[in-house]
Chain A
Amino acid sequence: MELKKIDKPDLGLFLQNLIKDFQVEGVKRKGQSVYGQSFFYGSINAPDELCLDFDCTTMPPKKYFIPPKEELLKFTIAPKPEVAEVIESKPLIIFGVHPYDLKAVNQMDKIFSEGNPDPNYLKRREGILLIGVDPTKVSPRSFWNSMEAASVSSGFDLMLTDIGESYLVEVGTDKGGNLLKKYAKVSSVTKEEEQKRIDVRSKIWNMCKKRALNFPMRELPSLLVNSLNSPLWDEKASKCLSCVTCNMVCPTCYCFDVWDDVELDLTHGQRYRRWDGCLASDFAKVATGENFRETRAARYRHRFLRKGQYLFSKLNDAACVGCGRCAAYCLPDIADPVDVFNRLKEAVK
């Protein structure tokens, strides 16, 4: 593991240098809510726009990997049918991604490259450099420590940890290392500083233990299989607005809907895809009008089974990273995985 140090005053310089040569996206402050400051990912045009002491962004960085709406194809119907794929990607650096969101990106990388590889995702992913940062604050609803998402061993190009006077930077890839060489003023790291990183991390991980699963996360698949008929699904889902907020803010929700649009002359058009959400009432509606998850409860249960069981068998890991966004933004407050999983566990004891 290669570890370097950037003194805090030099981080701005690093960023300034990156901005000259790259499109840099990062965490920005956006408006106050009753919960305090809101954070969103956006373009960083000056070093002071970047915020690294955020607790959690409202939206995960997934928009950079799968845009909310994306063109996939251009087609011509007449005079001669023709199809051309559209793959839009431009190199960018995402500066300031917490480990739980990096874990989500690692999962998407796997999902979009296995089986039926997704060229749009993969091409875009190739051009993205990820600069991770360890959290310094814990958002009220997060529980990433329970979900084995407090740290990641890969998926970042560089990983920053605030150790007080400076940031320690772990180099994750050659690309990250080259970025550091070319654009940053770094110094070597002492044994004490290395220990400080361990201390800082365990302190923040401990702060995230307030909200936790009451059982090992690896038990989720069996727990869910044994809870298919739990009355909890109906109880919670009766308040579900089917508003898909939980899907939209989720860093591991990647489902999409595809449709074709034609121009007014009806001779040519485009194929698009958009983020879709499994809580929407028409998500599982098929061509004949049949809807195989017609009730709120069926859709609600599906989301938890998908996170904790279906995708578990594919990823050997839960497709929930414990960011707590679904819990924080669900208006009827029914989406909290900690509450759902712990109550299911309680019921099968």
Chain B
Amino acid sequence: MDKPRVAFFDFASCEGDQLQIVNLEEDLLKVVGAVDVVSFREAMKGHSDNYDIAFVEGSITRRSDEPRLLEIRKNAKILVAIGACATIGGVNLLKNFQDLESVRKFVYGDKFFQYETYPARPIKAVVPVDLEIHQCPINRDEFVMAFKALLMGKKPEFPNYPVCEDCKKAENICVFEMGMTCMGPVTRAGCGACCVVEGSVCWGCRGFIDHPNADSEREVLAKYGLSVGDILKKFRLYTGFSEVSK
């Protein structure tokens, strides 16, 4: 059997997810050895439109991005969105809650009219997506896990329980008990609660679990002292797309 042909693409993003793949260290050679990489701007020269699996990083922030994404979708048998920008819109989505013209002026100054924009959105808002690998940036082990599942032709299993499970297993003190607040109770686990382990809180970069109890999370945030405005900000940092797509 021929090796699957694989291509990598990016839209509005820091390209940090592709960097995670380039950073796979000892697994990198095994990964690229198992497939034919035909396009990967961050790592190689050359390009082909003939590929089986497309890994797409970044969110869609301009109408002019759409034809390129549609082309990728047409060429690929399997389209995998990688990283928070691609799966849930990422922090790019923050601008959706502000005036788009002032956002452009803030970034591009008096040349703003040369740069088009529209409300940021994840890949699945434009084309059907077969698989999503969450997190900002993606977790290398999880990428390899999903990659192996693709090689075997099976569906990868991603956690559908909140970060609290990982956090308890990591034996952290709950951040709510330490006077902070956290999106962990509604956020998909799989990261090992790495931000809490490092002394921060969960910001929600892996997006919601399938059935988050957002009302209860809002009540908990209020109980621990957040105002309505602050709760809204918490929910918009990474998971704002679920608000606008309702």
Contacts and interface: CB of A to CB of B under 8 A. Distances in A.
List the 5 closest A-B pairs by CB distance, nearest first: A248-B168, A33-B177, A243-B164, A264-B30, A280-B161
Contact of A242 (B176, B209, B220): B209
Interface in B157-206: 157, 160-162, 164-165, 168-169, 171, 173-174, 176-179, 184-186
Nearest to A261: B145
A245 B148 CA distance: 30
Contacts of B31: 264
A266 B152 contact: yes
Contacts of A68: 169
Contacts of A32: 178
B116 interface: no
Given A243-B161, A243-B164, A243-B185, A58 B213 contact: no
A266 B149 CA distance: 10
Interface residues of B, number: 37
Nearest to A38: B173
A74 to B, nearest CB: 16
B211 interface: yes
A239 B147 CA distance: 36
Given A239-B216, A239-B219, A281 B211 contact: yes
Given A58-B173, A241-B217, A332-B216, A281 B210 contact: yes
Interface size class of A (residues with CB under 8 A): 35 or more
B232 to A, nearest CB: 19
B144 interface: yes
Contact of A282 (B145, B148, B160): B160
Contacts of A165: none
B100 interface: no
8 contacts: A30-B171, A243-B164, A244-B161, A265-B30, A275-B165, A277-B165, A281-B161, A331-B220
B173 A30 contact: yes
A31 B157 CA distance: 35
A238 B145 CA distance: 34
B182 to A, nearest CB: 9
Contact of B165 (A259, A280, A329): A280
B164 A241 contact: yes
B244 interface: no
A59 interface: yes
A263 B149 CA distance: 11
Given A68-B169, A241-B185, A245-B164, 6 more contacts: A40-B171, A58-B173, A239-B213, A245-B165, A263-B148, A264-B30
B43 interface: no
Contacts of B178: 31-34
